[in-house]
Amino acid sequence: MARHYYSEFHNRQEMLESDYEIFYYEDRRLSSVSMHRHDYYEIYFFLEGDLSYQIGKNVYPLRYGDVCLIPPGVFHRPQFHSQDLPYRRMVLWLSPDYFSRLQNLHPDIMYAFSDRSGLFHFSCDFADAQILFDKLIDIVEERHRDVPFNEAMAACYIASLLLSINRIIRLSETPVKSSQEQSRLFSRLCEYINTHLFDDLSLDALARRFYVNKYHLSHVFKENMGMSLHRYLVKKRLYAARTSVLAGEPIRDVAAACGFGDYTSFFRAFKKEFGIGPKEFRDSFRLPIQQQREVTDTIEHAVFDEI
């Protein structure tokens, strides 16, 4: 993840924006946090660290992909167990008024925070965690863009995130009738793809890797993900390419590194996915940190921006 996505940590517990705020934090110097509450909704997505999270009287040990749902007025805090790992998480704040406006458009959007769900915390499998993480990144990116219909697009991304959380919770209450074997295969596939995104991930190669029929593998993946394996790989590689483009890497190098045979096919796929070409996409972002680095790089003759 490019460093310009990270937010500088602050201790304030009040919203400065009227609708929403989103943060992507990484902290290495940890200090104890007292119990606190606030008057807005908080969605907390855990990425890395050695800690538990206390919400009310309940304490939840956290692992990658865990989500905490904190309504207004509920006391909460992290409880750190060690300083050995960086503390990474994404946090979304939603004002009650903004939440109410979203609910007018999508009446079921409140489900995760309703008394009926009764949840402050839930765990995701690897595949669901990746889906939620991608949706949070969409919100972060839209927050930094200076383009028409920015606020409307951000509202769509936030609604999509909330509805996806609702779906995960609802399905956990009434599990789908898929075999445990297929669920395990799908989770293993997603984990392997995430760690080998630019390797040979053809159906034949994956079938050999997982010792299953390639047609069965294709069926299991599409049934669980809602899209074909090929389409999913193209999207994942394009999102990886988008991060590299925003980090300032040469666009043709990005196309080759992300597995596209030629620049033309990369340009067409990128424009189809994001609506504009890669250069236009990069130029549409306001990246003050990146711009500051460019000034520093000019002075010090440095040429690389760390990712």
Q: How far apart are CA 174 and CA 220, in angstroms?
A: 20
* pLDDT for the residue 159: 94
Looking at the structure, tell me whether residues 16 and 160 fall in a common domain. Answer: yes
Q: Is there a single domain that holds both residue 73 and residue 51?
A: yes
197 and 147 in one domain?
no
Nearest C-alpha neighbor of 54 from the set 30, 78, 70, 32: 78
pLDDT of residue 78: 95
Cβ-proximal residues to 305 (8 Å cutoff; 6+ apart), any chain: 2, 3, 247, 248, 290, 293, 297
Distance CA 35, CA 236 (A): 38
The per-residue pLDDT for 139 is 94
Show the domain range for 11: 3-173
Q: Are residues 9 and 68 in the same domain?
A: yes
- Whether 202 is in a domain gets the answer yes
Instruction: Say if residue 120 is in the same domain as residue 187.
Output: no
- Answer whether residue 15 shows pLDDT above 60: yes
Residues 269 and 211 in one domain: yes
35 belongs to a structural domain: yes
307 located within any domain: no
Picking from 173, 195, 229, the residue at the C-terminal end of a domain is 173
What does the pLDDT look like over 198-223, one tens digit per residue?
888 998 899 888 888 888 888 889 88
Same domain membership, residue 134 and residue 186: no
Q: Can you tell me the mean pLDDT for 265-282? A: 89
Residue 303 located in a structural domain: no
Greater model confidence, 295 or 210? 210
Asked whether residue 298 is assigned to any structural domain, the reply reads no
DSSP 111: G
Examine residue 288 and state whether it is found in any structural domain, yes or no: no
Please state the domain count of the chain: 2
